[in-house]
């Protein structure tokens, strides 16, 4: 049974300030591990600014930062092993570590998300030629990922966000979908892309 908003809010406050009793902490932790939507939504709202600051320390762009903040929420909602990784203590500090690591991972793979239009640049020296070669390799990686791995149902979001590099709000409008739906699909795409690049899934 979902926790009441008042009861859950009291437990969240206790977790943040350390004033809740052992029984209350255990009930709150069970709700987190079970993925109780009311509990997680309230925790996310309470920690939104802290998550944003943790991401902003790594990623400067406003649109990218907003996307990453949304990804933290979707991971909490949909990744049970991640939720069960929190065993107690400061929930806020744990979330900040999750957000910061996610931002670092995003920054490392950002170079793979290049617009096809960028390939028209003409190199003026050896360094520029190397950059162009790297861009072309990144483009080929994205094309292979789309052809070999990406489910057809996520193709439109992939093109809008990863190829055309539209901002999240603009992409949602152009595709005629809710921003939360787009953000969730984008999160799933990023997980697939990360596994494809880092775990050697390429054929």
At residue 33 the predicted structure's pLDDT band, cuts being 50, 70 and 90, is very high
The percent of residues above 90 in pLDDT, for the chain, comes to: 11
More confident residue, 119 or 61: 61
Per-residue pLDDT tens digits for 147-157: 888 999 999 99
pTM above 0.75, yes or no: no
According to the model, what pLDDT value does residue 141 have? 77
Mean pLDDT on 112-123: 47
Residue 47 above 70 pLDDT? Answer: yes
Q: How far is CA 59 from CA 67, 110, 178, in A?
A: 11, 10, 24
Residue 13 above 50 pLDDT? Answer: no
Mean pLDDT on 74-92: 87
Residue 28 contacts residue 18 (beta carbons within 8 Å): no
Domains and CATH numbers, the chain: 5-109 (1.10.1740.10), 114-198 (1.10.10)
Residue 88 above 80 pLDDT? Answer: yes
Measured CA angle at 114 (ends 74, 139), to 5 deg: 110
More confident residue, 25 or 85: 85
Residue 167 above 60 pLDDT? Answer: yes
Give the DSSP letter string of the chain: -PPPHHHHHHHHHHHHHT-S-HHHHHHHHHHHHHT-HHHHHHHHHHHHHHHHHHHHTT---HHHHHHHHHHHHHHHHH-HHHHHT--SS-HHHHHHHHHHHHHHHHHHHGGG---GGGGGPPP-SHHHHHHHHHHHHHHHHHHHHHHHTS-GGGHHHHIIIIIS---HHHHHHHHTS-HHHHHHHHHHHHHHHHHHHHTT---
Residue 133 above 80 pLDDT? Answer: no
Q: Which residues touch 132 (CB under 8 Å, ≥6 apart)? A: 119, 121, 123
Cα separation of 61 and 190, whole Å?
Answer: 18
According to the model, what pLDDT value does residue 61 have? 66
Is the torsion defined by CA of 106, 189, 142, 200 positive or negative?
A: positive
Residue 8 above 60 pLDDT? Answer: no
Cα separation of 135 and 138, whole Å?
Answer: 5
């Amino acid at each position: 049974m979902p926790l009441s908003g008042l009861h859950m809010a009291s437990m969240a406050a206790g977790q943040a300030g350390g004033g809740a009793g052992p029984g209350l902490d255990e009930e709150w932790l069970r709700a987190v591990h079970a993925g109780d939507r009311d509990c997680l939504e309230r925790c996310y709202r309470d920690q939104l600014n802290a998550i944003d600051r943790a991401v902003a320390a790594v990623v400067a762009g406003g649109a990218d930062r907003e996307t990453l903040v949304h990804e933290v929420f979707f991971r909490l909602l949909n990744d049970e092993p991640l939720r069960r990784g929190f065993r107690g203590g400061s929930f806020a500090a744990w979330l900040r570590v999750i957000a910061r690591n996610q931002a670092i991972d995003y920054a490392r793979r950002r170079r793979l998300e290049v617009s096809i239009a960028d390939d028209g640049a003409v190199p003026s020296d050896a360094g520029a030629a190397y950059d162009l070669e790297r861009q072309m390799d990144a483009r080929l990686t994205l094309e292979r990922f789309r052809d070999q791995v990406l489910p057809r149902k996520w193709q439109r979001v992939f093109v809008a966000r990863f190829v055309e590099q539209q901002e999240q709000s603009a992409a949602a409008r152009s595709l005629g979908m809710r921003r939360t739906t787009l953000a969730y699909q984008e999160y799933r795409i990023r997980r697939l892309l990360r596994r494809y690049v880092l775990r050697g899934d390429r054929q």
